[in-house]
Amino acid sequence: MKILISPAKSLDFESKLPQLDWSIPFFEKEAIQINSVLKKKSPKNLQKLMSISEKLAQLNWERNQYFGISENFQKRPAVFAFDGDVYSGLSVQSLSKDSILIMQEKIRILSGLYGLLRPLDQILPYRLEMGTYLKVGNHKNLYDFWKSKVTNVLQNELKTNEILVNLASAEYYGVVDIKTLNVPIVSPQFKDFKNGNLKMISFFAKKARGMMARFLIEKEANTLEDIKGFTSDGYVFSSEHTKNELEPVFIR
């Protein structure tokens, strides 16, 4: 089983790290190539390009200028660097070392700058969402730049009939050419009752994706039935609300 998750815009480059061997990203050279494009953009250009505040634009301009050459920006393993809702659910700091090593084999993080990351791949601080309209060389956008590269790695890693669990957002999952992956792809759905209606609430769903990833790692899951066993934080599998077995619905 392989598990896809999204990165996060919020970063943590300060908390304590466990003693483990870190890895190198698949596409470090490509990240440098993309950074060379970002590096040419002024803070005002970045603010407009990414729809961010002036303060964030200045911060990311500095990150872009000193990418890989400043002691102020130390590398950090990706799963410990990202700090959004998904990572709150994953809660990697409380995972055992054995589970972290299993996670390294099973989880893949989609990234606008790095394409595809293993959890322990060392990265530099950055901000670049996959949906950002950025031309790189002859590529019209990041999807065009990354699609074949990311999909080829996944093709090479996935064994025959090995399940790929999609816990990434639509923005990031869109970079995978799923038509060429000849494996079952399971996309769990998380829904909550609100005002008497069952619906997907973004904040809760993001955290649930992280909790699901943790559950699958700790269980060393490999099957659809394993996935259906997820019960964290009050969620339970609902056969009644599941219309497609590859899109199991979990409700609470």
The string of pLDDT tens digits covering residues 152-190 is 999 999 999 999 999 999 999 999 999 999 999 999 999
Contact call for residues 57 and 47 (beta carbons, < 8 A): yes
Q: Kindly state the average pLDDT of the residues 24-44.
A: 96
CA distances from residue 75 to 15, 81, 121, 153 in whole angstroms, order as listed:
13, 9, 9, 23
The encoded tokens of residue 215 equal 């559950």
SS3 (DSSP) at 169: coil
The encoded tokens of residue 220 equal 């060393």
The percentage of residues in the chain with a pLDDT greater than 90, rounded to a whole number, is 94
Does the pLDDT of residue 70 top 70, yes or no? no
**Residue-number span of the structural domain to which 99 is assigned:** 2-251
Per-residue model confidence (pLDDT) at position 73: 67
Total domains present in the chain: 1
Q: What is the mean pLDDT of the chain?
A: 95
Of the pLDDT bands very low, low, confident and very high (cuts 50, 70, 90), residue 41 is very high
Per-residue model confidence (pLDDT) at position 68: 74
Distance between CA 96 and CA 103 in Å, rounded? 10
Per-residue model confidence (pLDDT) at position 71: 62
Of the pLDDT bands very low, low, confident and very high (cuts 50, 70, 90), residue 194 is confident
Of the pLDDT bands very low, low, confident and very high (cuts 50, 70, 90), residue 88 is very high
pTM of the full predicted structure? 0.95
Q: Kindly state the average pLDDT of the residues 122-137.
A: 96
Cβ neighbours, 10 Å, residue 163: 21
Distance between CA 240 and CA 89 in Å, rounded? 26
Distance between CA 64 and CA 46 in Å, rounded? 10
The percentage of residues in the chain with a pLDDT greater than 70, rounded to a whole number, is 98
Per-residue model confidence (pLDDT) at position 138: 96
Of the pLDDT bands very low, low, confident and very high (cuts 50, 70, 90), residue 196 is confident
Q: Which of 143, 188, 180, 136 is nearest to 1 (CA)?
A: 188
Cβ neighbours, 10 Å, residue 118: 21
- Start-to-end CA distance of the chain, whole Å, equals 26
Per-residue model confidence (pLDDT) at position 170: 96
Q: Kindly state the average pLDDT of the residues 98-124.
A: 97
